[in-house]
Amino acid sequence: MTAPMVIDCDPGPDDIAALILARQMRNMNVLAVTTVAGNCTVDVATRNTLALMDLLDWNIPVAAGASQPLTRPLRTAGDLFGDDGLLGVELSGTGASGTPSTRATDPRPAWDLVYDVARAAHQPIDIVTLGPLTNIATALAVHPDLPQYVERLVIMGGAFLAGNTTPAAEFNAFVDPEAAERVFSSGIPFWLCPLDVTHQGYITLRELQEVMDLESEPARIFAELLRRGYEDVKHYTGGLGVPLHDPLAVMYAADPSAFSSSECFIGCETQGSITAGMTITDRYSDAQLQPNGHLVETVDRTWFIAMIMDILARY
Ligand code: RIB
Ligand code: CA
């Protein structure tokens, strides 16, 4: 069983896919989900999350978080995923299919829920972040003693070979580079899953058809959300498939055995019209910057896809 866990996300197609997996993973102890503006507005991200909770009959607190980055105007991925954040895919049940879920959000803002859950847990918690890091940076500002209640952060974000939003920056880091830099320098141990590894963790169209053939509603939604995005993202994998950014971070948190990682310095540039959001590491420079985190570098894709199939088959 993992440590008690909070998942912070901006659903978004691959966030929903990650939550569908997390719900069925026997060793994940998810205590709460928090939402943040990123792929879409925080209101839409929260609506999508509540709809998914209905679909999965998942009764844990959901708290809405930041509607804007720490200092910058919000830039969403509406051009990619649409204003509903889900490429038009309707989560069945009473969710984003037009009739909002009747489920209520937790009255606390995300950063207070994270802190309260962390303090109440019987051991330090894991926080898995799948969107911009605004909520975690805010939690650190509002609750400076948060780090003592957190075991580790597993973060989907960053890029070292090339960005997906600008040539330098991956989307989550691009949206809120100030938050990323604040979290990287917080002293909380973290494992960063950048595009360099999530592009290894792709799913093919044939594999998505295998998921569809599982014939459960969660599996259908998983496959449909990712399939609809294929044409817009296939170039990241040379046409091989759809990168599973957020599912990979969740799978790393559940079982790092099929991944490799290395301890190193990781920072985020906050300046520059084209470099803001660029994540930087220090492998062997004369600067010899002190390691402050871990870079997840490789994944065994065969294992990754087999685990996904096994988990989805449980629905
Ligand atoms: O760059 C990929 C990341 O940005 C994923 O988390 C995706 O959901 C978006 O948030
Ligand atoms: Ca995301």
Nearest CA to ligand 1 atom 10: 131
Strand bridging mode 202-203 / 150-156:
unpaired
Confidence of residue 101 (pLDDT cuts 50, 70, 90): confident
Whose atoms come closest to the Cα of 172: which ligand?
1
Q: What is the pLDDT of residue 1?
A: 82
- Condensed to tens digits (0 to 9), the pLDDT of residues 250-280 reads 999 999 999 999 999 999 999 999 999 999 9
Q: How far, in Å, is the centroid of ligand 1 from the Cα of 302?
A: 22
- Condensed to tens digits (0 to 9), the pLDDT of residues 134-184 reads 999 999 999 999 999 999 999 999 999 999 999 999 999 999 999 999 999
Say if ligand 1 is within 6 A of residue 176 CB: no
Q: Summarize the confidence of residues 120-141 as an average pLDDT.
A: 98
Whose atoms come closest to the Cα of 248: which ligand?
1
Indicate whether this model's pTM tops 0.95: yes
| Residue 71 DSSP label | S
Would you tell me how many other CB atoms lie within 10 Å of the CB of residue 287? 8
Q: Summarize the confidence of residues 49-53 as an average pLDDT.
A: 97
Say if ligand 1 is within 6 A of residue 163 CB: no
Query: What's the chain's Rg over C-alpha atoms?
Result: 18
Instruction: Give the tokens for residue 269.
Output: 């540039």
**Among all residues, which ones are annotated catalytic?**
245
Q: What is the pLDDT of residue 93?
A: 52
Question: Which of 171, 202, 225, 279 has most ligand 1 atoms within 8 Å of CB, for mutation?
Answer: 171
Among 266, 288, 263, residue whose Cα is nearest residue 279: 266
Say if ligand 1 is within 6 A of residue 10 CB: yes
Q: Which domains does the chain have, with CATH numbers?
A: 4-312 (3.90.245.10)
The contacts of residue 264 (CB under 8 Å, 6+ apart) are: 281, 282, 283, 291, 293, 294, 295
DSSP secondary structure letters along 142-204: H-TTGGGGEEEEEEE---SS--SSSSSB-HHHHH-HHHHHHHHTSS--EEEE-HHHHTTSEE-
The contacts of residue 151 (CB under 8 Å, 6+ apart) are: 3, 123, 124, 125, 126, 189
Among 112, 95, 2, 93, residue whose Cα is nearest residue 47: 95
Question: Which of 7, 8, 15, 242 has most ligand 1 atoms within 8 Å of CB, for mutation?
Answer: 15
Confidence of residue 100 (pLDDT cuts 50, 70, 90): confident
Query: At residue 64, does pLDDT exceed 80?
Result: yes
Q: What is the pLDDT of residue 99?
A: 64
Average pLDDT of the chain?
A: 96
CB 47 within 8 A of CB 32: no
Q: What is the pLDDT of residue 77?
A: 93
Q: How far, in Å, is the centroid of ligand 1 from the Cα of 286?
A: 33
Query: At residue 98, does pLDDT exceed 60?
Result: no
Say if ligand 1 is within 6 A of residue 130 CB: yes
Give the ligand 1 atom nearest the CA of 195.
1
Residue 279 parent element (H or E): strand 279-282
- 3-state DSSP assignment of residue 112: helix
Whose atoms come closest to the Cα of 14: which ligand?
1
Give the ligand 1 atom nearest the CA of 10.
10
Q: Summarize the confidence of residues 36-64 as an average pLDDT.
A: 97
Among 22, 19, 71, 73, residue whose Cα is nearest residue 46: 19
Say if ligand 1 is within 6 A of residue 8 CB: no
Give the ligand 1 atom nearest the CA of 77.
9
Q: How far, in Å, is the centroid of ligand 1 from the Cα of 158?
A: 10
Q: What is the pLDDT of residue 244?
A: 98
- Condensed to tens digits (0 to 9), the pLDDT of residues 231-248 reads 999 999 999 999 999 999
